[in-house]
Structure 1
Amino acid sequence: MKQIGLKLRFQDGYDMAVASGVVQYARAKGDWQVRGQGPWFFSLDQEALSECDALIARIEDDQEALFCASLGIPVVDIAGSSSLKLFSQVRNDDYQTGVSAGTYLKKLGSKNVGWCGVDHVHWARERFVGFASSVSMNPSDIVSFSRPLGWWRQLYEPSVELDAWLQTLKKPISLFCCNDLSAMKVELACQRLSINIPIEVMVLGVDNETLLCELASPSISSIQPDCKTIGYEASAMLDAMLGGRQSGMHIRRIAPGPVTERESTRLVLCEDEQVADALRLIKARATSGLTASDVADEATICRRALEMRFRRYRKRTIWEEITTEKLEQACLLLKQSNATITQISEQCGFGSIHRFYSLFKRAYRMTPSQFRSKKLRF
């Protein structure tokens, strides 16, 4: 029986989801005994750690990296925060996380964007670079506020510097915060300053820490890393190392999941208020049988004028906007739920399964079944 150490803190959803992926792999193996902190695993105290055959670890700094290296066993790092780069890694694709953030905020009509980051850590830098690329800006041209991770962890400690920075921003603005912790601290500062979220400032975080995001007021939209896949693939890499099928240093990046939209970004920005109102209606009711005629009926201008304005600002028709929203909701359900494709078609308001398949294949060049097979790993 191989002893596999799981060196995680289990203080957040990230660790719990990673552990879930490890456990799934271990159950399929049959000859792995997983050791970790908490009542769910065999003990991972100092003595047990020295007896482990291999280790999956969330290594946050150089000191921890050196300690893990001193054990003399195969190690897969799921954080990659150490500057020493001593181990193979399976971690979130942070560049793609930034790209996803920029793509999402652009879709909401954001023209002014800003960044809140953590100093001197690679994952924050990669998220920033991906974000800048997605919004077609030089990183140096994006208004930014960055502090060490420990500073952000002091959530309820007021900051003169952060307050001053938020007050000077050109509004409305969309802020991409490198994690949910920084997003929460930004929201608390906005509350002190009577800055309206999301009307003046939209806030998007990363990690989708459900309790933190839902307790915030307004609740925080966040990008969900695919932590379960990280845990599973880290286990597969460790297994290959133990079996002599892999040697040397390897880095595997796992694409993040979708944005979980909550109140902090539930707004569509557009210079044309008629188009903005139409977009808000589409986001709210697209999957409930909404038609282009329904949208036009809600407007205070004639349908032809609304269609012309819509084409000018969105580069597509009202019907195309409704269809895009329905398809995006369908993609989320295909990835996150066990509903049948027929059920998803009905839930997203496509009318018929044949119509759903036709529109889906036209948009994504694959069927819903192929999409689900490609995106779901377990």
Structure 2
Amino acid sequence: MAGSRRGRRPGPPRVALIVETSMAYGREILHGIVRYVRENGPWTVFFEPRSLQDPPPPWLEGWDGDGIITTMYPQFSELIRGTGIPTIDLDDQEPRSGLPAVRSDQHAIGAMAAAHLMERGFERFGFFGYPQFEWSRLRLESFRRAVESTGRRCEVYEPAHAVSWGHQMPAWEAEVELFSRWISGLPKPLGLMACNDFRGVQALDACRRADVAVPEEVAVIGVDDESLACELAHPPLSSVIPDCRAIGYEAAGLLDRIMAGGPRRPATIAVPPRGIAVRQSSDVTAISDPVVADAMRYLRENAARRFGIGEVAEHVGVSRSTLHRRFRAATDGTLHDAIAGMRIGRVKRLLVETELPLHAVAARSGFAHVEYLIAAFRKATGATPGAFRRAHRGAGGP
């Protein structure tokens, strides 16, 4: 690192925030920085929207600032170090910059994903990552350690193609095709961790291509809670939620102390994840009976319309009595209860996530009449649909 700049100037410190804003991870970090500045500022902030592929800001080399918070982009990491300006490194790609750093606790992320899948009864596990990135390798390391500590095994997919630093897939279709063959050949049910949400979306695509039911045969969990990608996925993708706002807050506090004359020790603060956003891709109990898993997939995919037990039995190729017996053995519940639960779950999502009137919610949830919906919903939840919608809209979801 170059020599230190002059002492702190009078007035608010001048701080550059060189953080990508194209994904939720970076935007959430910025929210954490904002909170710190509101509580402890003011700062004069230099900030502009950025993507992962943007070149260095043209003003950076000659900039006379007091501090920088940045994801240490490989394409200009030497430039930043050469400025001599106190800098906090947020990047997970280059973990040995020699600068003070604040990052997600990758080991905690992997362990949390493993615990989530094991709690759902899975005995077999897989991992889909980017082996050339350290953050992915660390997530795999802790995921596999947690799985193997219980005597289970973790299969690891070896990607067909290398990826660039910016996560650009050179051949999405080819990767999906090879992954679909890999997932087809593994025993099921299986709990799969994807190293991030975009890898998770790719895994879901591959499972559809392989005619593998998600979550009944393979439950998938990603990382980062990129909510748009997770909600657009089919089915919606569960995800470990990094505490990005805490990362931003800690980084701002660390920089503030250094700008005030504190030591620039190259320590790393590892921030544990907040928890898991559970969505449909892993919201399941592991089902080892393939007929029952297929039946559950049929229920999920047809929850928007009315159908009978006979139709389900015909789809899976067994008699009604056989289906009832195998369903109870595999799930400790009845097929009727599963259908009702699937429909009530769809009603809840439509009440919270849409503005549809109740008659439209009924039509999209397999209920012939609004009155039937209201009675079934009250029995299942103890509340009317209207009261449920009002309560959970304010709380951010069911």
TM-score (norm 2): 0.63
Secondary structure class of the residue paired with 1:247 = coil
Q: Kindly indicate whether residue 120 of structure 2 is the aligned counterpart of residue 105 of structure 1.
A: no
Q: Check the 8 A contact 2:148/2:154 in 1, yes or no.
A: no
Name the structure where helix makes up a greater proportion of residues: 1
Secondary structure class of the residue paired with 1:249 = coil
Question: By how many angstroms is 1:140 displaced?
Answer: 12
Question: By how many angstroms is 1:258 displaced?
Answer: 0.9
Q: Which of 51, 56, 67 is matched with 2:79 structurally? A: 67
Secondary structure class of the residue paired with 1:244 = coil
- Aligned residue for 1:267? 284
Q: Which of 156, 178, 187 is matched with 1:170 structurally? A: 187
Equivalent residues in 2 for 1:15-164, closer than 5 Å: 15-38=26-49, 45-47=57-59, 50-61=63-74, 63-82=75-94, 84-137=96-149, 142-147=154-159, 148-150=162-164, 153-154=168-169, 156-159=172-175, 160-164=177-181
Question: By how many angstroms is 1:152 displaced?
Answer: 5.9
Unaligned runs of 5+ in 1: 277-299, 311-348, 350-378
Secondary structure class of the residue paired with 2:187 = coil
Deviation by residue 1:241-268 (Cα, 9 ceiling, x = unmatched): 1112233211000010111100101110
Question: By how many angstroms is 1:187 displaced?
Answer: 0.8
Between the aligned partners of 2:16 and 2:167, the Cα distance in structure 1 is: 30
**Identity over aligned residues, as a percent?**
27
Secondary structure class of the residue paired with 2:26 = helix
Question: By how many angstroms is 1:48 displaced?
Answer: 5.7
Between the aligned partners of 1:121 and 1:163, the Cα distance in structure 2 is: 22
Deviation by residue 1:5-34 (Cα, 9 ceiling, x = unmatched): 111120100111100111111122333112
Question: By how many angstroms is 1:116 displaced?
Answer: 0.7
Question: By how many angstroms is 1:164 displaced?
Answer: 2.1
Between the aligned partners of 2:152 and 2:118, the Cα distance in structure 1 is: 19
Q: Which of 234, 257, 264 is matched with 2:251 structurally? A: 234
Q: Check the 8 A contact 2:123/2:152 in 1, yes or no.
A: no
Q: Check the 8 A contact 2:16/2:67 in 1, yes or no.
A: yes
Between the aligned partners of 1:169 and 1:99, the Cα distance in structure 2 is: 22
Q: Check the 8 A contact 1:220/1:264 in 2, yes or no.
A: yes
Between the aligned partners of 1:190 and 1:85, the Cα distance in structure 2 is: 38
Which letter does structure 2 place at the counterpart of 1:118? Y
Q: Check the 8 A contact 2:188/2:288 in 1, yes or no.
A: no
Which letter does structure 1 place at the counterpart of 2:31? S
Q: Check the 8 A contact 1:177/1:183 in 2, yes or no.
A: yes
Question: By how many angstroms is 1:136 displaced?
Answer: 2.8
Q: Check the 8 A contact 1:4/1:55 in 2, yes or no.
A: yes
Question: By how many angstroms is 1:64 displaced?
Answer: 3.1
Secondary structure class of the residue paired with 1:118 = coil
Between the aligned partners of 1:130 and 1:139, the Cα distance in structure 2 is: 15
Change (3 A) 1:141 1:64: farther
Secondary structure class of the residue paired with 1:26 = helix
Question: By how many angstroms is 1:141 displaced?
Answer: 5.0
Structure of higher CA gyration radius: 2
Between the aligned partners of 2:107 and 2:196, the Cα distance in structure 1 is: 14
Equivalent residues in 2 for 1:6-21, closer than 5 Å: 6-21=17-32
Secondary structure class of the residue paired with 2:173 = coil
- Aligned residue for 1:224? 241
Equivalent residues in 2 for 1:192-341, closer than 5 Å: 192-269=209-286
Change (3 A) 1:139 1:225: farther
Q: Check the 8 A contact 1:19/1:231 in 2, yes or no.
A: yes
Range moving further from structure 2, 89-98 or 243-252: 243-252
Unaligned runs of 5+ in 2: 1-11, 51-55, 294-323, 333-380, 382-398
- Aligned residue for 2:206? 189
Between the aligned partners of 1:81 and 1:206, the Cα distance in structure 2 is: 16
Between the aligned partners of 2:230 and 2:57, the Cα distance in structure 1 is: 32
Q: Check the 8 A contact 2:125/2:153 in 1, yes or no.
A: no
Between the aligned partners of 1:233 and 1:169, the Cα distance in structure 2 is: 42
- Aligned residue for 2:353? none
Which letter does structure 2 place at the counterpart of 1:213? C
Between the aligned partners of 1:30 and 1:125, the Cα distance in structure 2 is: 37
Question: By how many angstroms is 1:114 displaced?
Answer: 0.4
Question: By how many angstroms is 1:157 displaced?
Answer: 2.9
Change (3 A) 1:69 1:48: closer
Between the aligned partners of 1:70 and 1:161, the Cα distance in structure 2 is: 43
Between the aligned partners of 1:12 and 1:96, the Cα distance in structure 2 is: 22
